[in-house]
Chain A
Amino acid sequence: AQSVTQLGSHVSVSEGALVLLRCNYSSSVPPYLFWYVQYPNQGLQLLLKYTSAATLVKGINGFEAEFKKSETSFHLTKPSAHMSDAAEYFCAVRGVNNNDMRFGAGTRLTVKP
C-alpha cells in the first residue's frame, strides 16, 4: 500500500525566506500526490496535486512542488514566506486506481517576523 513520510514535524522560517517542506512517498507505481494546508479549527484545503502530467506543479498562494520519481519525493516550496503561510501542511498519496488517500503526519510551519 502506498504511504508518505513527511520529514520534520516543525519548520520555522523568517518572513521572506524560502519555504521547503519535505515529502517522500512509497508506492509501487507513480501515484497521485497532493499537498493540503490546514489552518486552526478548519478542514484541509488543497494546495496542489500531481496526477502524472507536468512534474512541476504550481498551486495556490505561490506554492509549488516537484515530482521526482528517482528520489520518490514531492517536496513543497515557496520562494518567499508570508506570515499568513503559518499553518499545518499535509502531504497525501492516492493510488492511480483511486482507492484510499493516505496522509503524512503533517508539518507545522511557523513564520517569524
Chain B
Amino acid sequence: DARVTQTPRDKVTEMGQEVTMRCQPILGHNTVFWYRQTMMQGLELLAYFRNRAPLDDSGMPKDRFSAEMPDATLATLKIQPSEPRDSAVYFCASGLGGPNTGELFFGEGSRLTVL
C-alpha cells in the first residue's frame, strides 16, 4: 500500500529550538510539496521539488525555514529557530510530474506546537 510517510506525527518544542520534519514520498514520485495548515491561513504552499531540485520556495520564511531533498526517498523541512507562530500542521505530498496526472498524495501530517 503506497503512501507518503511523515515523521514525527506530533512534536512539542520550546521557542528557539530546531525542528526537523521528514517525509518519505511514494516510490517513483518525482514531485514533493510541503504545505502548512492553520485555522487562520488554511493550506499554504511552502515549497516544492521536482526530481529533487527546488522549483519554488517563495512561500517559506527564508530566515528560519529550509527544505531539502537529500535523496529521492527523503524530503526534510527544518525550522531554526522555531517560534510560537510556527505552530501548525505541516503536510508533505508527492506526485508525478507530467501531463494527465497532476494529483498529489498527502501524508498524515506533522503537528508542531511551539511553546
Contact = CB atoms under 8 A, between A and B. Distances in A.
Bound together: yes
Interface of B, secondary structure class, is strand
Contacts of A51: 100-102
B42 A105 contact: yes
B91 A44 contact: yes
Interface in B1-47: 4, 31, 33, 35, 42-43, 45
Interface in A5-63: 32, 34, 36, 41-46, 49, 51, 53
Interface in B57-115: 91, 93, 97-109
Nearest to B41: A105
A98 B104 CA distance: 11
A75 B87 CA distance: 32
Nearest to B102: A32
B45 A102 contact: yes
A41 B89 CA distance: 9
B106 A45 contact: yes
Nearest to A93: B102
Interface in A60-113: 90, 94, 96, 98-106
Interface of B: 4, 31, 33, 35, 42-43, 45, 48, 55-56, 91, 93, 97-109
The 4 closest A-B pairs by CB, nearest first: A43-B106, A32-B102, A103-B43, A44-B106
